Structure 1
Amino acid sequence: MQISKEDLLLKANAASKNTLMETLSIEIVDFTEDTLTARMPVTPKVHQPDGVLHGGATAALAESVGSFASHIFINTDEFFVRGLEITANHLKSIKDGYIYAKASFLHRGRTTQLLDIRVTDEADNLISICRLSTISLPKKK
């Protein structure tokens, strides 16, 4: 029996309970063979004091979706994933609505992965471009 895409999304989001992803209301909304997409509401809890989206919240969304993408594309019985470096170029401000982060692999190696993460608003305007490198390390037996 094959599991449905909806069931996989439910399972993925259930794994975020009691994490930063839950705190920021980050939700995995789609995936393909090569990408993973998540969204986060832009509300006062992720604003800077002047009322626009905080770049740190954007970076947290980007790292969450990128790390999650690396995690689901490896054998988690044998390996675990950790972020190595994230960069974020913020291009546009936003005050409300949702932002979407779509992670795509630029490199999917056995040990290291490099992901391009485009953060857009609901109208597909580019908000930020991020790059995340992750490492897959063997679990100790």
Structure 2
Amino acid sequence: MNLLELLGIKTLRATTTEAVIEVPVTAKLKQPFGIVHGGINTILAETAASLGANAGLDTTQQVAVGVNVETHHLYTVAQGTLRANAKPLHAGKRLQTWQVEVHEQASQRLTSVSTVTLMITKRAN
């Protein structure tokens, strides 16, 4: 089982110009105080950016992997569904940088903003 399956993350769209994923808020996403753990925002950001960056690659030959993530947590969430929307700021041949916004769907409240930098590398066999 991979991390996306474990957490229940669903891919809604993954293209070279946008990647959208979502996850329902469940107990396994929360920290001991009953709100979504901040690391979940970062997982959503890197996952969405990686899906978008890899959409333009021949992943049998090369892959985009995260090398830096900066996340700003803006609003706490205790229930609902989180949706991450990633868009490229720069899509070079060796590095890509994506901006990711995470919203809670029912309220449409922006919960976090991340910048994700990915490196394009040869796929290991």
Verify: 1:48 aligned to 2:49, yes or no. no
Partner SS, residue 113 of structure 1: strand
Aligned counterparts of 2:16 and 2:59: Cα–Cα separation in 1 = 17
Aligned with residue 52 of structure 2, among 69, 75, 100: 69
Note the residue ranges of structure 2 that are not aligned, 5 or more in a row. Answer: none
Partner SS, residue 103 of structure 1: strand
Q: Which runs of 4+ in 1 moved over 4 A?
A: none
- Superposed counterparts of 1:51-130, under 5 Å: 51-122=34-105, 123-130=107-114
Partner SS, residue 28 of structure 2: helix
Q: Which amino acid aligns with 1:120?
A: H
1:41 Cα deviation after fit: 1.0
The structure where helix makes up a greater share of residues is 1
Partner SS, residue 132 of structure 1: strand
TM-score normalised to structure 2 length: 0.92
Q: Which amino acid aligns with 2:87?
A: S
Aligned counterparts of 2:13 and 2:60: Cα–Cα separation in 1 = 23
RMSD of aligned residue pairs (Cα, Å): 1.5
Q: Which amino acid aligns with 1:79?
A: Q
Aligned counterparts of 2:38 and 2:51: Cα–Cα separation in 1 = 20
TM-score normalised to structure 1 length: 0.82
Deviation string, structure 1 residues 81-117 (Cα, Å, up to 9, x no partner) = 2110001100001101100000100000001000000
Q: Which has the larger radius of gyration?
A: 1
Question: More deviation in 83-92 or 59-68?
Answer: 59-68
Aligned counterparts of 1:63 and 1:100: Cα–Cα separation in 2 = 13
Verify: 1:135 aligned to 2:125, yes or no. no
Matched length = 124
Per chain length, whose mean CA-contact separation is higher, i.e. which structure has more relative contact order (CA < 8 Å, sep 6+)? 2
What percent identity do the matched residue pairs reach?
27
